[in-house]
Structure 1
Amino acid sequence: MLGRLRRQLTVLAALLTGGVVLAVAAATFWLTGRLYTAQRQASFEAVVSDLSGQWLRTGTLDLEQLRQTAQRSGIGLYFEENGAPLRLSGLAGTAGTGSELCAQLDRQGFDCKASPSQSESILLPHATADGQAVRAAARKQPTENGWHLLVVWQLLAAERRTLALAGAGFGCVALAGVALVTAVCWVVAGRAIRPVKQAMQSQKDFVRAAGHELRTPLGVLRAGLAVLEKEDAAAARRHIGLLDAEAARMGRLIDQLLILSGGGMVQSSRPQLLEPDTLLLDTAEAWEPAARQTGRPLRCDLPPCALPAVTVCREELCQILAIFLDNALRYAPPGTAVELRCRAETGRIVWTVADHGPGIPPPVREKVFRRFWRAEESRADRRHFGLGLSVAAELAARCGLALGVDETPGGGASFWVSAKL
C-alpha cells in the first residue's frame, strides 16, 4: 500500500514539475532560436550594406575581396550594371542563381530591370535558389553612368542544422531534467511516507511490547500466589498486600502504555514523603519470589546508616525499579545474583539494580532508553521490544527523576534512578 502511494505521489509530482521543466526548455529554445536567427540576419544585412557601399564609392569590384567575403560569410553574389549581368572571374555559377532570385524578387514587387531614381532595397527572409532554402537581399543604386544591382543570398541549411542540433540539445537537457526531477520526487516521496511507515511498524511493535510489559506484574502476581499456598496466615496477609500493590501497579502500567502510544494523558501520582530503605525492602520482598523462580537470587544492600526521607512519586519510582529488575532477571546468567541497592549521594538518593550479565557497551548506553531499542544479544528474543526502559525514561521525566546505566564492577549493567533531597 505504501509502495503504491509512493509511486502515485512520484508520478503526480513528476508530471507537474516535469511539465514546468519542459515548458521552460521549449520557451528557452524558442527564444534562443529567434535571437540566433535575428543575429544571422543582421550579419547578412551588414554584409549586403558593406558590399553595396563599396561598389557605390569606388565604382569597381575587388574580386579577391569578394571571394573572401563570400567564403567567410557563406554567401552567394550576383551583380548587374544597367540591367546587364557582370560575369566575374572566380564567382562562376552565380548568374543562374541570381537570375532565379531576380524572378522571385519581381514577384515581390521589386523590379530588377527597372532603373531606380533612388536607392532601393528588399529582404526576403525565405526564398528558394537551386532547390535550396536561402535568405536573399537585393539593392539597386543609381550611379552617374546608370545604375547597379546587387543580389546576395545565404543558404539556410547550415543555420537550420545548427537550430536542429540546438533543439536536440535542449530536448536532451529537458529529458534529463525530467528524469532528475522524477528521481528527486521519488526520494522526497519516500521521505514523506517514511514517518507513516515507521508509525505503522511502531504500532505493530507496540502491541507486541505491551504484552511483554503486562506480563511483568502478572508474573509477580502468579509467583506470589504460588507462595501463598505455603505461607501461614500472617505471612499470607502480608503477601496479599504486596500482590494487591502489584495489581494496582499493573493498572498504572496500562496507563503508561497509553501515554507512550499517544492514546491518552494519565496524571502522575502525588509526591509523598517516604523512607528510601523501606521502599527498597518492599521492592525486594515483592520481587523475591520471581527472582527465586528464575534461579537468580535477589540481594538487598542497605547502607549502615539510615537514609534521609525523600519526597517522590512512589508509584512511578516503584514502576521504574520493577522495569530495572525485570531486565536484570531476564539477562543475568542463571545462578548469578541481582543486587538491589540504595545510597545517599550529594543532594540526592540513588536506587540501583545491578546484574552480572553481558552488560551494555558505553557507545549504546544512551540508546537503551529509546522506545523499542534492543541490544544485539537480545534480538533473537522476539518477545522483547525494549519498551520497558522507554517507559522508565518517560516516568522519570514526568516525575523529575534522573536515571542512567553504568557498568557493574566485575561485568554487567547497573541501572540507577535518583531523586533530589
Structure 2
Amino acid sequence: MFSKLKRRLVLLYGITSSIILSVIIIGVYIINNRQSQEQNMVLFQKNVEQIVEKFRLEDVINNTWLVRVQEDNRLFVYVEDNGIKLTKYNQMSNLPGSQELIEKIKKLSIEDGINLDRKPLYSTLRKTPVYNVSLSNGKAYYSMAALIPKNAGWLNIMVISCDNQGPGILFKQMFLYVFIDFIGVAALFLISSLYIGKVIKPLEEGQKRQVAFVAAASHELRTPLTVIKAGISSIREDISKSDNFLPHIEEECNRMTRLISDMLLLASSDAKTWSLLKEPVEIDTLLIETYDMFCTCYNNKNYQLTLDLPEEELHVIHGDKERIKQIFTILIDNAMSHTTPGENIDLHAYNQKNYVVVEVEDHGHGICDEDKKQVFERFYRGDGSRNDKKHFGLGLSIAKELIELHEGSIFIKDTPGGGATFVLRLPW
C-alpha cells in the first residue's frame, strides 16, 4: 500500500514541480533573450553613431582605425562616395551574402524616406533606424544606414553587425535551456523520491507498530478470555465447583481491566487527548510518598528499597502530580520485576541544569544493549522475568509517554556491579 502511495506522490510531486520549473526556465529564456537583443541593439547603435560622426567630421578616415573598430565590435562597414563604392574602407568581402544585404538595406531605407543612391536635398545628416535583415539562408543581422552630406556630394554608410542572434544561435540557446530543464526535472524526481520516502517511512513504521500492537493486544486478551470461558463451561457442567473457578474468573477479569486501562491510556496519548492537570510539584515530597507506599505495600517481598535525596531542596517542577507519581511507581515496579528479593533498589534524586533528575537503580541481571533500544516499545518483553501474568509490557511505554508529555526524557544505563538504572529528567 505504501509503495503504491509513494509512487503516486513522487509522480504528482515530480510532475507538478517539473511544470513549475519548466515555466520558470521558459520565462528566464524569453527574458534573457529579449534583454540580450536589446543590449546588442543599443551597443550596435552606439558603434554606428561613432562611425558616422567620424565620417561626418573628417574628410580623411584612418583606415587602421576603421579596421580595428570593425574587428573589435564584429562589424562590417560599407561606404559609398556619391554612389561609388570605396574599396579602401570596404570589409564586406568577408561577409557572405553582402550584396543581398546591401540591396535589402537600401530598399528598407527608401521605405523610410532615405534614398542612399541620390544626393540629399538638404544638408542635414539622416540616419535610418536599426533594421533586422535576414538573408535567404535564414541568418539575421542588425543593420543601419546613414546619409552624410558633404561639400563635394554625399556619403552613404551601411553598417552591419554579425552578432545578431540567428536561428542557429537561438537553437543552441534553446537546447542549453532544454538540457538544464531536463537535468532539473531529473533532480526533482530524485529529490522527491528521497524526500517522500523519508516522509512515508514513519507512517510505515507506525503501521507496523500498530499491527504489532493489535496482534500483541489480541494475544494478551485471548488468554484471560480462554480462562474465563473454560471456567464458565466448567461451572455449567457442575455448579458445585463454582467456588473453585470463580476466583480465577475474577482474577482474569481484573487482569483484563488493567490491560484495557493501559491500552486506553496509550490510545489517548496517540490521539493527543491525554490531558495533564499541571501544578507546582515538589519532587522530593512526591518521592518520599512513593517510597513510603512501596515500603508499606511490599514489605513482605524482602526488597531493600532506599531513597537518597540531596541536602538542598529539589527544584519545584510544573507538572501533573498523579502522573509523575505513576511514572515513579512504574519504574520501581519494573525494578522489582528484574531484581531478586533481598537485593537493593535505590532511588536517587538531584538537581541538574534546568532539570530535576531521578534515578531508579536495581542490582538485578541488567539489560543488554539490544534490549535497551526496545524496552519502551509496547508489549515488549525482553526476558523471562517479565513473562508473568502481572506484566503486559506496557508499563515502560506508558511511563515514556507520560515523561514526554512533561517535556522530559528517560534513558537506561548500566548499574555498576550489575543491574540497570533508569534515569528520568524533568524540566523545571
Interval of TM-score (by shorter of Structure 1 and Structure 2) = 0.5 to 0.7
Measured at CA, do residues 35 and 104 of structure 1 come closer, stay the same or move farther in structure 2, by a change above 3 Å? same
- The secondary structure found in structure 2 opposite 1:111 is coil
Q: Which residue of 2 aligns with 1:28?
A: 28
Q: Which residue of 1 aligns with 2:341?
A: 339
- The secondary structure found in structure 2 opposite 1:256 is helix
- The secondary structure found in structure 1 opposite 2:145 is strand
In structure 1, distance between residues paired with 2:61 and 2:360: 111
- The secondary structure found in structure 2 opposite 1:127 is strand
Unmatched 5+ stretches in structure 1 = 222-236, 283-299, 305-311, 329-336
Cα pair 1:134 1:155 within 8 Å, conserved: yes
In structure 1, distance between residues paired with 2:45 and 2:80: 19
Q: Deviations over 1:158-204 (max 9, x none)?
A: 76655444433333333322223323322332233333222211111
Q: Which residue of 2 aligns with 1:127?
A: 133
Shift of 1:320: 7.4
Q: Which residue of 1 aligns with 2:298?
A: 280
Q: Which residue of 1 aligns with 2:263?
A: 257
In structure 2, distance between residues paired with 1:396 and 1:152: 84
Q: Which residue of 2 aligns with 1:148?
A: 155
What letter corresponds to residue 260 of structure 1 in structure 2? L
Q: Which residue of 1 aligns with 2:199?
A: 192
In structure 2, distance between residues paired with 1:386 and 1:277: 24
Given the alignment, which residue of 93, 108, 115 partners 1:105?
A: 108
1:156-305 correspondence runs (5 A): 156=163, 161-211=168-218, 213-214=220-221, 244-245=250-251, 247-262=253-268, 276=294, 279-280=297-298, 300-301=301-302
How many residues align? The count is: 359
Measured at CA, do residues 278 and 49 of structure 1 come closer, stay the same or move farther in structure 2, by a change above 3 Å? closer
Cα pair 2:105 2:143 within 8 Å, conserved: no
1:74-89 correspondence runs (5 A): 74-88=74-88
Q: Which residue of 2 aligns with 1:114?
A: 118
In structure 2, distance between residues paired with 1:407 and 1:272: 23
Cα pair 1:277 1:342 within 8 Å, conserved: no
What letter corresponds to residue 194 of structure 2 in structure 1? V
Shift of 1:397: 6.4
In structure 1, distance between residues paired with 2:67 and 2:411: 93
What letter corresponds to residue 393 of structure 1 in structure 2? A
Higher alpha-carbon deviation: 144-153 or 11-20: 11-20
Measured at CA, do residues 396 and 220 of structure 1 come closer, stay the same or move farther in structure 2, by a change above 3 Å? farther
Q: Which residue of 2 aligns with 1:10?
A: 10
In structure 1, distance between residues paired with 2:185 and 2:368: 48
In structure 2, distance between residues paired with 1:149 and 1:53: 13
In structure 1, distance between residues paired with 2:52 and 2:413: 98
Cα pair 2:400 2:410 within 8 Å, conserved: no
In structure 2, distance between residues paired with 1:51 and 1:165: 32
TM-score by length of 2: 0.64
Cα pair 1:339 1:355 within 8 Å, conserved: no
In structure 2, distance between residues paired with 1:317 and 1:246: 26
What letter corresponds to residue 155 of structure 1 in structure 2? C
Q: Deviations over 1:330-385 (max 9, x none)?
A: xxxxxxx94366879789xx9987644xx22579758623446676x99xx9xxx9
Cα pair 2:133 2:141 within 8 Å, conserved: yes
What letter corresponds to residue 256 of structure 1 in structure 2? D
Shift of 1:41: 1.6
Shift of 1:413: 4.9
Shift of 1:154: 2.0
In structure 2, distance between residues paired with 1:408 and 1:99: 98
Identity %: 19
In structure 2, distance between residues paired with 1:120 and 1:140: 5
Higher alpha-carbon deviation: 241-250 or 110-119: 241-250
- The secondary structure found in structure 2 opposite 1:204 is helix
What letter corresponds to residue 108 of structure 2 in structure 1? L
Cα pair 1:340 1:353 within 8 Å, conserved: no
What letter corresponds to residue 341 of structure 2 in structure 1? E
Q: Which residue of 2 aligns with 1:71?
A: 71
Shift of 1:216: 8.4
TM-score by length of 1: 0.65
Measured at CA, do residues 364 and 395 of structure 1 come closer, stay the same or move farther in structure 2, by a change above 3 Å? same
For the aligned residues, what is the CA RMSD? 5.2
